[in-house]
A = this chain, B = another copy of it.
Amino acid sequence: MYVVKSPLSDASLQTVSEALQGALVDLVDLGLVAKQIHWNVVGPRFRSVHLQLDEVVATARTHSDTVAERAAALGVPPDGRAATVAVGSGIGVTPEGWVDDAAAVRALVDALGAVIVRMRERIAATGEPDPVSQDIFIRITADLEKHHWMFQAENG
């Protein structure tokens, strides 16, 4: 059926599409994890952390849409289904139930840190085969590292 002739060579496309699919899974999970803690956080910093987490959700949702549509634009169908996310995410397991605010902040520091490492690898991998995708990863990393700083500063 529907086939797009990609502007990239097959080898380049393989590299770039893996990076995009990996980023998609990480970002969808980041959005779900941030919402999970947004709902379950308790403690004196409840309101502050609750609001801060929705900004992470907004970042994750915007960028997951961008990378999924970038994959489609290169002719590769993106996969952001729950089961795919559950097994493929680079973020460790979030425990269920209430979470106190300091632990919530640490959880975000860890989740963002894990995604950033992988995202920087994607920047390195895609610069040569597709600078357009690389530029998207660069901007995502800028946003994630800003959130990362803010949660680290919060527990500083």
Contact = CB atoms under 8 A, between A and B. Distances in A.
B135 A135 contact: yes
Nearest to A149: B73
Contacts of A50: 150, 153
Chain B CB within 10 Å, residue with most, of A65, A71, A82, A156: A82
A80 B85 CA distance: 13
Contact of A154 (B44, B98, B136): B44
B135 A142 contact: yes
Interface of A: 1-2, 4, 7, 28-29, 32-33, 35-36, 39-52, 64-65, 68-75, 77-86, 89, 93-94, 96-98, 100-102, 116-117, 120, 123, 127, 131-132, 134-136, 138-139, 141-142, 145-146, 148-150, 152-156
Majority secondary structure, A binding face: helix
A145 B39 contact: no
Contact of A156 (B29, B36, B42): B42
Given A45-B44, A46-B156, A4 B80 contact: no
A57 B43 CA distance: 23
A84 B7 CA distance: 28
